[in-house]
Chain A
């Protein structure tokens, strides 16, 4: 439910209210100019840097310093992109994909199992305690526990591996995933579970064949939200890796910046390349992503 909140709820009531009288509708339009101005101002404030990143990344280095920063390049060039891709970008990209997929697939699956058990497993102390623990986990920031996490990773002899980033990412994806998924599973009509039981289906079968497909919107939301968090994570690679070969994209960005210094177009090209996959995701799964971003809070 938390998941589906932001868009729909009051939509149906809207037409009736505007139909109440054209004068009312006109008044609403006329008087909302403060919000309107804010809306358009924010569009400029929010988009200008994005626009600037994109056009600047296509400028040559000399052109960047010579032209008006807000105008498109005189000559579009892919040099910066070529430079970034030659600087091992593909490897960092691969690392990011491995870490993100490697963390999110298991995280979502085990969170789903836990959420199912919490909703369907009755009122036993163990499940209640687990649920409280996960809820408490929402309040633990990764940074505050990064030193012990670092210690644990060293002791597991995982320092400087991709697994070192995957394991804590799974753990920190769990609390919100369980919260969102259990809210959603709770909305599945009880009669459906009953009929599965009458058909002789085990709880395990019910979980995968009934709850899993019905929970799909929430699963997508949770997946996208967590994937964004892992993809953009900076602290874990910073603390848990050392070898440049193990870098993920955000950390690579930071080192690119140190490496290229004044070659701003190259730095910006790396920003574009890093963000591109998420933008594609955004274009495809915008609704799920936006509801995911406020999952658990919008309600």
Chain B
């Protein structure tokens, strides 16, 4: 992220040149039309719907604060928030060190590492539905990997016990996304000037020392970017959990997005479901802004200018 500086210069330059062509505005209209219709309007729509009663088929009735009252008064909300944050934090804790390590490793230019990278990224291509289905079969206590290999510790009812199920979700999420974050770190590491390492070597700093004193601090903005994506992304683990456990066993993996789906499209209570969607948006925005603040203001500026 620190390298966002160059675009800033170019940005101001082209802005100066573009003064005369103010009539290009209409070129934005098609994109704007689509985005406003299916992005901006729904964002306000979901807030509006949270003050209504609607079964998803019939007419929409204004309902005051009833939906909010029922959602906020329901212990299910706290539970879903808890599960969401638990999965968020655990998957961050697993993914970040692993991605940093792999990203640093992949940043080397050796040929075999490039080859490894090609293979690493295959999980990224699979749909969450495919991944969930695969792991469900692999972890099946009777027919899965554990039974096939006769390894009893693998032969657990992985998706049938509360804590195990949460662990499995965290593991699969990590399996799916560690390659992606490694890729981000790979890019970050490659942008660190070699000269810093050369200086460190002259002073006689070891590899580990170099990692902690140079690589890690230099990657500050990359870490923030990657963490933001991880954390905000974890709010949207819907398809994976839906196919894997459908929120179960019991409600053990019923994250916010799943809670919204179940209330809205299974119990036909669109009002409360919309209220949860609003909470989902607020949590996501809150975290994203918080993490951005962590990165300092310079990042925000260059983000906006660069774009």
A positions within 8 Å CB-CB of B: 1, 5-6, 9-11, 13-14, 16-17, 20, 24, 27-28, 31-32, 34-36, 38-39, 42-43, 45-47, 49-50, 52-53, 64-65, 67-70, 107, 110-111, 113-114, 116-124, 126-127, 130-131, 133-135, 137, 139-152, 167-168, 170-172, 174-175, 178-179, 182-183, 186-187, 190, 193-194, 203, 207, 228, 231-235, 239, 249-251, 253-254, 257, 262, 264, 267-268, 271, 274-275, 278-279, 282, 286, 290, 293-294, 297-299
A114–B29 Cα distance when bound, in Å, is 8
- From A6, A116, A299, contact of B24 by CB (8 A): A116
A148–B14 Cα distance when bound, in Å, is 38
Q: Is B46 an interface residue (CB 8 A)?
A: yes
Q: Which residues of chain A come closer than 8 Å to B65, judged between CB atoms?
A: none
Q: Are B304 and A111 in contact (CB under 8 A)?
A: no
Q: Contact flags (1/0) for B27-41 with A, using CB distance below 8 Å?
A: 110111011111111
Q: Which residues of chain B come closer than 8 Å to A119, judged between CB atoms?
A: 14, 18
Q: Are A141 and B235 in contact (CB under 8 A)?
A: yes
Q: Which residues of chain A come closer than 8 Å to B6, judged between CB atoms?
A: 1
Q: Are B32 and A130 in contact (CB under 8 A)?
A: yes
Q: Are B187 and A110 in contact (CB under 8 A)?
A: no
A299–B101 Cα distance when bound, in Å, is 19
Q: Which residues of chain B come closer than 8 Å to A1, judged between CB atoms?
A: 6-7
Q: Are A275 and B125 in contact (CB under 8 A)?
A: yes
Q: Are A279 and B125 in contact (CB under 8 A)?
A: yes
Q: Beyond A43-B119, A119-B18, A144-B280, is A35–B46 a contact (Cβ under 8 Å)?
A: no
Q: Are B125 and A145 in contact (CB under 8 A)?
A: no
Which of B74-82, B83-91, B131-139, B162-170 is near enough to bind chain A? B131-139
Q: Is B229 an interface residue (CB 8 A)?
A: yes
Q: Which residues of chain B come closer than 8 Å to A5, judged between CB atoms?
A: 3, 187, 191
A294–B182 Cα distance when bound, in Å, is 10
B236 to chain A, nearest CB (A): 5
Q: Is B285 an interface residue (CB 8 A)?
A: yes
Q: Are A294 and B183 in contact (CB under 8 A)?
A: yes
Q: Are A69 and B144 in contact (CB under 8 A)?
A: yes
Q: Are B239 and A250 in contact (CB under 8 A)?
A: yes
Q: Is B306 an interface residue (CB 8 A)?
A: yes
A194–B201 Cα distance when bound, in Å, is 48
A45–B135 Cα distance when bound, in Å, is 12
Closest to A296 in B: B307
A165–B290 Cα distance when bound, in Å, is 33
B positions within 8 Å CB-CB of A: 1, 3-4, 6-7, 10-11, 13-15, 17-28, 30-32, 34-43, 45-46, 48-49, 56, 98, 101-102, 104-106, 108-109, 113, 116-130, 133-138, 143-145, 148-149, 175, 178-180, 183-184, 186-188, 190-195, 197-198, 201, 206-208, 225-226, 229, 232, 235-236, 238-239, 242-243, 257, 260, 264-265, 270, 273-274, 277-278, 280-281, 284-285, 288, 304, 306-307
Q: Which residues of chain B come closer than 8 Å to A131, judged between CB atoms?
A: 307
Q: Are B18 and A121 in contact (CB under 8 A)?
A: yes
Q: Are A171 and B17 in contact (CB under 8 A)?
A: no
- From A143, A170, A178, contact of B238 by CB (8 A): A143
A68–B148 Cα distance when bound, in Å, is 5
Q: Are B179 and A46 in contact (CB under 8 A)?
A: yes
Q: Are B133 and A257 in contact (CB under 8 A)?
A: yes
Q: Beyond A46-B122, A120-B14, is A186–B35 a contact (Cβ under 8 Å)?
A: no
Q: Are B32 and A114 in contact (CB under 8 A)?
A: yes
Q: Are A274 and B18 in contact (CB under 8 A)?
A: no
Q: Are B187 and A262 in contact (CB under 8 A)?
A: no
Q: Which residues of chain B come closer than 8 Å to A123, judged between CB atoms?
A: 15, 18-19
A258–B263 Cα distance when bound, in Å, is 22
- From B130, B180, B306, contact of A183 by CB (8 A): B306
Top 9 closest pairs, chain A to chain B, by CB: A148-B45, A69-B148, A35-B105, A171-B38, A232-B127, A148-B42, A145-B42, A121-B24, A31-B207
